[in-house]
Structure 1
Amino acid sequence: MNKNEIYETLEKLTNIVSPSGHEDEIRNTIIELLKPYADEIWVDSLGNVIAVKKGSGEGRLMIAAHMDEIGLMINHITKTGFLKFTPIGGWNPVILPGQRVLIKTKRREYVRGVIGMKPPHIMKPEEAKQAPQIEDLFIDIGASSREEAEKLGITVGSVAVIERNIAKLSENVVTGRAFDDKIGVAVMIEAFKNLEKPKVDVYAVATVMEEVGLKGARVAAYSITPHVGLALDVTIAADIPGVDESKQITKLGKGPAIKVMDGRSGSGLIAHPAIKDTLIQLAEKHNIPYQLEVLTGGTTDATIIQLTKEGVPTGALSVPTRYIHSPVEVLNLEDALNTAKLTKLFAEYIDMEWINKYLKRKIK
């Protein structure tokens, strides 16, 4: 495995605009990357990419990473050509003013714009003290009328993302847009292409619409009916000034995070103990650094996989990432590489004997 290959894949994926519900372009790239290593590959009716590598025995493992990203949707064009928008997924509005965006038009071309708001010089004192709200913001594309904007192919329903390329801050630390969860997809691809003789059928699933309700993972898990689920995503690395160590969740460069629990008060995923413990054992046996993750807000595809049909024992691995849901997310490529290594080891380790012993215990 190679962290440079993960970086190259991540760069390809982050160069593609893929807000939730509009994953068509990135889907084609993911198919190209997975197809050479898959025994079967298809796209389901919701748009998930599902690649299978057959195992030497029975059993089904579903590995999920979502290919969608948070974005913006145009919901009004003013008479003077400014665009009003609503969020797709979870944005903190304070991040948005002054950002440059790419708007996907109905001709599948892109129009560049900037997010503006009332200048501070003309704000009332009480306005200046308040954080901006989405309704205070707009996109300026340099048009002077609604008709001019529409001629460019922009309509109500056009989608946009922040325009930001991936860049290296140091040899291992990189920054960019939509690492949530394009790094999970890159890790999944790296693990999948390096799989050697798994004992179970491994389903690598690039899911759609995670950011707006875990929708793709729900239908994919229903059709696959896996015996075991594993989600790959990012998690909060709050190892920054002003955050008490007890609240940092994870730290950059300290290895993949093995999920214990997420969501408020465990409302998301409580990882199956056997999956969590096996991931820990494999990490320690193969000298892979790891962290244990208890996340008090947010969740992943693992939550909905766990609740499929009669229930699926599920766990999750996370790549620690700073500034999640911003244009300048930051991660360590060594953490991503080690997440791929641990994913591969887990996929090669489990078999039906392990599944029957730890996950489907019968009471005599």
Structure 2
Amino acid sequence: MTKFDETLMMLKELTDAKGISGHEKEARDSMEKYIKPYADEVFTDNLGSLIAKKTGDENGPKIMVAGHLDEVGFMVTRIDKKGFIYFQTVGGWWNQVMLAQRVTIMTAKGDITGVIGSKPPHILSAEARKKPVEIKDMFIDIGASSKEEASEFGVRPGDSIVPYFEFTQMKNEKMLMAKAWDNRIGCAIAIEVLKKLKDEQHPNVVYGVGTIQEEVGLRGARTSAHAIKPDIGFGVDVGIAGDTPGISDKEADSNLGDGPQIILYDASMVSHKGVRDFIVDTAEEHQIPFQYSSMSGGGTDSGAIHLTANGVPSLTITIATRYIHSHAAILHRDDFENAVKLIVEAIKKLDDQKVKEIILA
């Protein structure tokens, strides 16, 4: 493996950071470290979303580029008398990806390592072995011998439980595997957009945002957009990859490495036609590869942003990612870099006149 460059170090730090919905501080601190050098002002809303402001033309339109800080995880709900931990999911999980996976419990006394367990198949009936274990029948083993010992370790109800996985550059060095790509890659895009604009003229005010609690209802996007009152909104997130075995083109047809995805429709928003056409034209003008995609079963921060005040023309741009909402996901570095390039080129053209054209499209 080659030596990590500055960008890879940023991606590693962002994804290794622990931050489930409602406890995003570690991820927020990491994002702030990397975005602050390129912002004129950095602040948070009252729920904890990070907002980095960069002014080009102070009288120009406000452009919001938002990725969410939170990742899916779990929360401690009770400790049984033998010291085993029971938990609530935070965000969407598929039970088949959870068993025997390592987790970190964030306690007031420090991090505790555990593993998700259940009854061994050896003592289940033949019929029971055919069925996936339900989440309610899982627990976390932290090596405690009693409830009292688990409490002495610092574990208590309400503690965050975070998937454990270290950032990994694969043998094909463009392929990057990590936990929390959903959605630290969006946070990384916001950082890199401000970085690329550092010495560029742009006829607007750009806000790079790390929102909180997206996985449980797009909550931070709602509060941060209310604070900003943007004229144009871009939600940046992960999208569904269709290039693994068993997925047909009609289910998902995006490939890793073929460019960022322009989302036409998801469960939270019909993409604004004017913004969509503008982004497509920009990509074609600058020969930036892209893919169309739609997600009938999920939403993104754009779903909250576009309903702010009297409406914000918005579009979601995503990075095709394999195995989202699990301990380890994979994406392609070129898609990340092309998403940044596309948004930067778009921002350079988003003056008052262009925003008016988009709204009337």
Settle same-fold status: TM greater than 0.5: yes
CA distance in 2 between partners of 1:12 and 1:328 (Å): 15
Q: Residues of 2 paired with 1:98 and 1:151: CA distance?
A: 24
**C-alpha contact 2:278 2:358 (8 A) present in aligned 1:** no
Report Cα offsets for 1:259-282 as digits up to 9, x if no partner: 11112xxxx221111111111111
Alignment of 1:103-118 (within 5 A): 103-107=105-109, 109-118=110-119
Report how far residue 4 of structure 1 moved. 4.6
Change (3 A) 1:240 1:187: same
Counterpart of 1:203 in structure 2 is 207
Q: Is the 8 A contact 1:74 1:85 kept in 2?
A: yes
Structure 2 SS opposite 1:346: helix
Aligned to 1:19: 20
In the superposition, relative to structure 1, how do residues 219 and 185 fare at CA in structure 2: closer, same or farther (>3 Å)?
same
Unmatched runs of 5 consecutive residues or more in structure 1: none
Q: Judge which range, 342-351 or 241-250, deviates more.
A: 241-250
Specify the alignment match of 1:274 in structure 2.
274
Cα distance in structure 1, aligned partners of 2:288 and 2:234: 18
CA-based RMSD of the aligned residues comes to 1.3
Output aligned runs, 1:110-149, within 5 Å: 110-149=111-150
SS in 1 for 2:246: coil
1:191 to 184, 190, 193: 193
Give the Å deviation of 1:6. Answer: 3.5
Match of residue 96 from structure 1: 98
Structure-2 separation of matches of 1:273 and 1:192: 25
Q: Conserved in 2, the CA contact under 8 Å of 1:7 and 1:333?
A: no
Aligned partners of 1:6 and 1:187 also within 8 Å: no
Q: CA deviation at 1:131?
A: 0.9
Could you state the TM-score of these two structures normalised by the residue count of structure 2?
0.95
Shift in Å, 1:52: 0.7
User: Does the CA contact (< 8 Å) of 1:229 and 1:302 recur in 2?
Assistant: yes
- 26-35 vs 89-98, which moves further: 26-35
| Offset at residue 36 of structure 1 (A) | 1.0
SS at match of 2:63: strand
| Corresponding residue to 1:68 among 62, 70, 87 | 70
Whether the 8 Å CA contact 1:249–1:294 is kept in 2: the answer is: no
Matched-pair contact (CA < 8 Å) for 1:208–1:216: yes
2:248 aligned to 244, 247, 261, which one?
244
Partners of 1:102 and 1:260 in 2: CA distance: 37
Shift of 1:246: 2.3
Amino acid corresponding to residue 86 of structure 1 in structure 2: Q
Identity value in percent = 40
| TM score, norm. by length of structure 1 | 0.95
Which of residues 171, 174, 190 in structure 2 aligns to 1:172? 174
Change in CA separation of 1:249 and 1:213 when aligned onto 2, cut-off 3 Å: farther
Once residues 334 and 308 of structure 1 are traced to their aligned partners in structure 2, the CA distance between those partners, rounded to angstroms, is 32
Tell me which amino acid in the other structure corresponds to 1:172. K
Deviations 1:241-265 (A, max 9, x none): 11112222421110000111112xx
